[in-house]
Structure 1
Amino acid sequence: MANEPIKKAKNGAYYFRVHLGFDEKGKRIQIYKSGFATMKEAREKYYELLFQKEEYLVSKKEIILFKEYTEKIFLPWYKTQVKKQTYENRISIIEAHFKHFYTMSIDDIEPIHVQKWQLSLMKDLKPSYVRSIQGLFSLAMDRAVVLGLAKLNPSKVIGNVKKQKATINFWTLDEFTKVLSVINRNDFYEYFHYISIHLLFMTGMRIGEATALSWNDIDFGTGILSITKNLIYKNQNDYRYGDTKTKASNRHIVLDTDTLALLKNWKDIQKKNNSKKQIHIKLQ
């Protein structure tokens, strides 16, 4: 038979060459066996090796520790998928909590390991924060599965921490009025705090959106405030402007007459005090 894998040598012994696929570098894996007295012996050995193909390839597969995968494969990819500020905010979470698995091979992480880790996090951290941590870990494992470095995502097998409804406290109008009533409006900086609190309460803006405002964002003729950017602040010497949190965050707010009057007055006070460089949280 032309396709018969078992061959007979000139000395009467039988031999074969079995192909077992390719290694991680793309090199063909093959095993040569010879010296069999009969065709039957050679064929039995040939199929024994062939049936062990998957096991053989797994044994030859390069072992990648989770630490190496996180630092050299996952993080460089993740950095291209999110905004710069998002990456900078989450890198500390990843470095602090992924190290639990750093000494393990990525394909050896099983659901039981993730469950123990999850329960240990729950002892000291809020459920919402644990959900965020495990969400990042699950994303990393999803990527490992896509890349063929892991067979499954153990985080998805056990599931994330149950989501709890957050309790959000809002100022009532009476509380808002009470706070403003104790601010000294004759003091330059306190008056600025008065303006800031008033604007935040009346518009519902995020702090980053409010601190990124400039006078060009307000049309005093129409009373419309445009929100198009966000202030990314680390310290007095390290801050920059970036996009808003989501596309939907770019919006226009119609200001009430009292708020517009306060802002006009603050603009005049700024000019008189030449305060552009003095105020970081600015409307300048």
Structure 2
Amino acid sequence: MAMKKSKYTGVYYDKEADKVQVQISLGTDPVTGKRNRLKTMVDENNKPFSSLTEANKFVVVQKAKYFKTGAYAASKMSFDTFVDNEYLPHYKTTVKPQTYEHKLNGIKVIRNFFGKRKLKDIDVKLVNDFRIWLVNYGYKPSYSSGLFSTFKRILSFAEQLGYIQDNPAHKVKALPKGKAKVAFWTKKEFEKVLAQICIDDVYEHLNYTMLTLYFMTGMRVNEATALYWEDIDFKRKQIHVCHNLLIKNQKEFERSDDLKTTNANRFISLDDTTVEILRAWKDKQKEIGLGHKKDFVLSFTGKPLIKSTISRIIKRYAALANIHSIQAKGLRHSHVSYLINEFNIEILKISKRLGHSSPEITYRHYAHLYAGADRDIANEINGTINFSSSKESNVHFQGNQFIKKNTVPEVSPKDTKTA
């Protein structure tokens, strides 16, 4: 029988039967010592699985039922076992692969904190202890807040499956996210960086092109690293953002069309200078055997750039330019700052250019950059009002209105003679 593995543990595709099949182990029977195995091509309603994802959901439910009634009864289930065998397989079916990988380390932090503690023994005090630990450990407020929210969701899933009666985390105050500020470069700082790069060197030419592309388009890090030359239309002077790079290293990567938001698939217009910089880099690539339609734009080896490399490039030239360093995503913020502070571009246009799901997202992240964006209003109203005042008061106060006056006391003629 030709069985093809899937990304889900215990879920396979039977090529001959053209059906999805589940084959899982439910551990060892504590009485007989035999392994409990489940092998089926149908769900609880005796219907064939419609997809690999549906089959995996079936697996999660079946394991939950076994753990509650078999060797891992609810009273014995430890937190780390629940996370590994229940929550992670479930969570993986609800988010995109890159989101799962991004959140995995945080979930491990939570799992390791509670470890072998039984689910039923996690009470309000333990939850509060975890909250205090997050505050004191040294994480950024936004990261700590995210971990605590994730912990709440884990316990909510345990409640949903019947391992605990209620979620004690709901009785503990959530952690504030704080104000996350992403450092960025101003126009002058960006110009100082470019002035340090010698484009006669192939690698430095790549660095020059990469920094320009990010600063002048505001693309997400993995959107730009996924670009092929066929995604750039030099005649129309625009880039088609339609892929995202899922990458661990230069040997393990995937160019995916599964973008962060539905609006992330977009066209970005290019200015003439950026077009010429990209043309020059493409010509340079051709000299070293690249520059074809399906070659990565940001590459000089044929392999895509990785985020850590981009960060090192930024740090190197920031030091040479004697300015502060920024994160790779700081180049996206730099682009927005440039559009707002130099041209006062309206938020809707910026939102579409960035590929945000809504203008509200853009405003929430970048509203603080509009601090001086109303200068044109001040310039417009300048000198339009005739500011004048009366030389004497025309108001006669009545009633209880009273103004205390600083007056000089009257001096009588008698006092004057005495003096």
TM over 0.5: yes
How far residue 69 of structure 1 moved from its aligned partner, in angstroms, is 1.3
Give the counterpart letter for 2:251 in structure 1. Answer: N
Percent pairwise identity: 36
Cα deviations across residues 153-178 of structure 1 (Å, max 9, x unaligned)?
A: 22222132112111222211111111
How far residue 279 of structure 1 moved from its aligned partner, in angstroms, is 4.3
Q: 1:278: which partner in 2?
A: 301
Q: 1:186: which partner in 2?
A: 200
1:65 & 1:165 partners in 2: Cα distance?
Answer: 35
Correspondent of 1:164 among 178, 197, 215: 178
Correspondent of 1:254 among 269, 281, 286: 269
TM-score normalised to structure 2 length: 0.51
2:173 & 2:239 partners in 1: Cα distance?
Answer: 43
How far residue 119 of structure 1 moved from its aligned partner, in angstroms, is 0.8
| Aligned residue-pair number | 223
2:191 & 2:93 partners in 1: Cα distance?
Answer: 45
1:136 & 1:114 partners in 2: Cα distance?
Answer: 13
Correspondence 1:217-256 to 2 at 5 A? 217-242=231-256, 243-256=258-271
Q: 1:7: which partner in 2?
A: none
Give the counterpart letter for 2:244 in structure 1. Answer: N
1:177 & 1:280 partners in 2: Cα distance?
Answer: 28
Q: Does residue 81 of structure 1 match 2:104?
A: no
Give the counterpart letter for 1:258 in structure 2. Answer: T
2:304 & 2:183 partners in 1: Cα distance?
Answer: 24
Secondary structure at the counterpart of residue 131 of structure 2: helix
2:80 & 2:301 partners in 1: Cα distance?
Answer: 45
Give the counterpart letter for 1:88 in structure 2. Answer: E
Alpha carbons 2:141, 2:176 under 8 Å: kept: yes
Secondary structure at the counterpart of residue 253 of structure 1: strand
**Structure number with higher strand proportion:** 1
2:117 & 2:107 partners in 1: Cα distance?
Answer: 16
Query: How large is the RMSD of aligned CA atoms in angstroms?
Result: 1.8
Secondary structure at the counterpart of residue 192 of structure 1: helix
1:172 & 1:72 partners in 2: Cα distance?
Answer: 48
Correspondent of 2:160 among 146, 150, 153: 146
How far residue 62 of structure 1 moved from its aligned partner, in angstroms, is 4.1
1:206 & 1:129 partners in 2: Cα distance?
Answer: 20
2:112 & 2:190 partners in 1: Cα distance?
Answer: 45
Q: 2:7: which partner in 1?
A: none
Alpha carbons 2:241, 2:264 under 8 Å: kept: yes
How far residue 130 of structure 1 moved from its aligned partner, in angstroms, is 1.0
Alpha carbons 2:237, 2:275 under 8 Å: kept: yes
How far residue 196 of structure 1 moved from its aligned partner, in angstroms, is 0.5
Correspondence 1:1-284 to 2 at 5 A? 62-124=75-137, 125-242=139-256, 243-275=258-290, 278-281=301-304
How far residue 201 of structure 1 moved from its aligned partner, in angstroms, is 0.1
Gaps in structure 2 of 5+ consecutive residues: 1-72, 306-419
Instruction: Tell me whether 188-197 or 139-148 shows the greater mean CA deviation.
Output: 139-148
TM-score normalised to structure 1 length: 0.73
Gaps in structure 1 of 5+ consecutive residues: 1-59
Q: 2:368: which partner in 1?
A: none
How far residue 61 of structure 1 moved from its aligned partner, in angstroms, is 6.0
1:239 & 1:61 partners in 2: Cα distance?
Answer: 40
